[in-house]
Amino acid sequence: MTTRDLSRREYLRAMTAAGLATIAGGEPRLRASEQVQHPKPTADTVILLWMAGGMGAPDTFDPKRYTKFEVGVPVDKILSTFPVIDTVVDNIKFTEGLEHIAKVIDRGTLIRSHVVADLGNILHSRHQYHWHTGYVPPQTVACPHIGAWMARVLGPRNPAIPAFINIGQRLEGHGESEELKAFTTGGFFGTEYGPFNLPFPNDAVEAVKPPKGMTPERFAARHAKYKDLLKASPVGELASDYHHDSMLKSVENAHRLLTSKERDAFDITKEPKASYDEYNTGRFGLGCLLARRLAESGARFIEVTTEYVPFLHWDTHENGHATYTRMKKEIDRPIAQLVLDLEQRGMLDRTLVVLASEFSRDMMIEGVPGSKAQDQSLARADKLGEPKHYGLHRHFTGSGSVLMFGGGIKKGALYGETAAERPLVTTKNPVSIRDLHATIFHAMGVSPKTAFDVEKRPFYATEDGKGVPVRELFAKEK
C-alpha cells in the first residue's frame, strides 16, 4: 500500500468522524458581534468555474518561456509548452488556445499570485476541501462549502430556485467520490443548505420533473413514509432534531421546485440553437449555459466544474500538453460566451464570475521548493523522449492564476506577479485562499468575520475570521 493510499484512508476516516459529529450536533447559532460590519454588496450571485484537478498556470494564464517539443530537449529547461498570445489588454498575455477568453479579459481581472498551502501529502481531495471550505482538513466538524455559507447567510434570491447549485460533478461511480462528498455539502448548516447536484447539464430538466402520476396526495403519503424511514434509519437515530428537520426541509424545497414555473430554467434545450451551439463544447460548456439560465432565474451560488476524476481532465500526470489542448477547447468559448451573455443581459455588474483551481503545475517541482511531497508524475524523464513527457505533470502550490469578472471587480486589470524562471513562485501581492474567500464574501456583502457557534465555539466564514478582502481588486465606486 502506498503513502498516498494511506493518506486517503486517513482522510476518509477523519471526514467520516467529522460528519457523524456534525449530524449529532444542534443548530448552529449566528454569533452577534460588534466587530462584524457587513460591507455593501457589489454582487448578488456567484458563478464559480472550477478547473478541477490542478490547472497549470504556465500553460494557461501565466505564460513563461516557451519550448516546443523536440526529442532530446532537457526537461528542466521547459517552463511552458504553449506559445504566448495577445489579449485585448496590452499588459496581459495568455497561452495559445485561450483566444476567446483573451477577447473578454477587458471585462475582468487576472490574479497571477494565488498561493495555496503545501499540505505535505498533496491529495486533490484535501486541497479541494481546503479551497471550497476555507479550512484545512481534518476538522472536528463537517465544514460547509462556501456556497452553503452564501445559502445560509444570504438566503435564496428566488425561493423556488435552490440557493446553491453544483453542476458537472458526479458523486457516484468513479474514484474519490467519497472524498468529494466531504466538501460538497452544507456541513454543519444542514442538508437544506447543501448543493442541488446536477452532474449532467443536458439531464438537468429531468431532475425537476415530478414522477409520472405524482399527485399532491401521493407526495404527501410518500413524504410521511420518508419521515418514518428517516427516523428509523441509522442517520435518523444519530441526527439531532435540527439536522433531522433540515433533511426534511431539503425534500420540501425540492418538491416546491417541481411545481414551479422556474423549473424551465433547467431545460437547456429551450435555449435558441445558435446560443446552445456556442456553448456546446461538452458537459462543461453546457454547464456554463445552464449556470447562466439559473443565475437569470435567481440562483445565489452556482459552481460549474470540469469535473474531478483522478488522472483525467486537468489532473495531468502524463501527456499534459495534449490534454491541455483538449481542455482549452472545452473551456475557452463557453467561458467567454458566459461573460458576454451576462453583460448583454445587464447582469455582469451584479454577478461575480470566478475561475480557479486547487493548485497549479510545474514540469519539475512537486509542491514548492523544499517540499517533501512525493513525486506523482507518471512521465519522469531527464530529456523529452516521447510526447507523453511533454507537459506540466507535477502539483505546484507556490503560485496559481484566478480570473474574476463582474460583481464590482476591476476591468482589464492584472494583479500579482510570479518569477520569470523556475521556481515560478509568487513574487508580488500573494493572495491566499483565506483572502480570496474574504474577497468573494466582501463582494456578496458578507463580513469574513461572520461566525456561528458550533460545538460551543465560534466557526468563521474565513479561517479564524482573519480573511482580509483584497480591496485593490475592486473598481472604485463612482
Which tens digit of pLDDT belongs to each residue from 155-197?
999 999 999 999 999 998 887 888 899 999 999 998 899 999 9
Average pLDDT estimate for 391-397? 97
Helices within 307-382 (DSSP H only) = 320-344
Residue 171 domain flag: yes
Average pLDDT estimate for 7-34? 67
Which grid coordinates are listed for 290?
A: 445552464
Average pLDDT estimate for 432-438? 98
Half-sphere exposure of 230 (CA within 13 A, CB side): 18
What's the pLDDT band for 215 if we cut at 50, 70, 90?
low
pLDDT value of position 477: 65
What is the torsional sign of CA 462, 161, 127, 99?
negative
d(CA 57, CA 424): 10
Residue 343 domain flag: yes
Residue 37 domain flag: no
d(CA 411, CA 449): 27
Residue keyed to cell 483522478: 310
Average pLDDT estimate for 102-114? 98
Average pLDDT estimate for 321-349? 98
Residue 28 domain flag: no
Q: Which of 62-71, 137-146, 301-310, 395-404 has the least mean pLDDT?
A: 137-146
d(CA 81, CA 293): 36
What's the pLDDT band for 455 if we cut at 50, 70, 90?
confident
Average pLDDT estimate for 9-29? 65
pLDDT value of position 6: 46
CB atoms within 10 A of CB 5: 9
Number of domains in the chain: 1
pLDDT value of position 95: 98
Residue 150 domain flag: yes
What's the pLDDT band for 2 if we cut at 50, 70, 90?
very low
pLDDT value of position 227: 58
- Report CA 192 to chain centroid distance, whole Å: 20
Mean pLDDT rounded to a whole number for the chain: 90
Instruction: Give DSSP secondary structure letters for 302-325.
Output: EEEE----TTSTT--SS-HHHHHH
Which grid coordinates are listed for 239?
A: 441526527
Nearest to 87 by CA among 99, 70, 69: 99
Nearest to 183 by CA among 172, 198, 196, 194: 194
d(CA 365, CA 374): 10
Nearest to 332 by CA among 11, 14, 61, 118: 61
Share of the chain above pLDDT 70, in %: 84
Nearest to 16 by CA among 161, 179, 216: 179
CB atoms within 10 A of CB 326: 12
Burial class (CB in 10 A: 0-12, 13-18, 19+), 93: middle
d(CA 11, CA 401): 27
pLDDT value of position 3: 46
Q: Which of 209-223, 311-325, 396-410 has the least mean pLDDT?
A: 209-223
pLDDT value of position 135: 95
Are 444 and 43 in contact, with CB atoms under 8 Å apart?
A: yes
CATH number at residue 80: 3.40.720
Residue 30 domain flag: no
pLDDT value of position 1: 38
d(CA 60, CA 314): 11
Residue 34 domain flag: no
Are 265 and 295 in contact, with CB atoms under 8 Å apart?
A: no
Which grid coordinates are listed for 275?
A: 446560443
Share of the chain above pLDDT 90, in %: 72
Residue 252 DSSP SS3: helix
DSSP 8-state class, residue 374? P
Residue 217 domain flag: no
Residue keyed to cell 456556442: 278
Q: Which domain holds residue 175?
A: 52-205+269-473
- Counting DSSP H helices and E strands in the chain, the numbers are 12, 17
User: What type of residue is 377?
Assistant: S
Query: What pTM did the predictor assign?
Result: 0.91
- Report CA 389 to chain centroid distance, whole Å: 29
Average pLDDT estimate for 220-248? 61
**Helices 3-24/124-133 angle, 10° precision:** 40
Buried/exposed code over 180-207 (b: 16+ C-beta within 10 A; e: otherwise): bbbbbbbbbbbbbbbbbbbbebeebbeb
Residue 69 DSSP SS3: coil
Of 289 and 238, the structure prediction assigns the larger pLDDT to 289
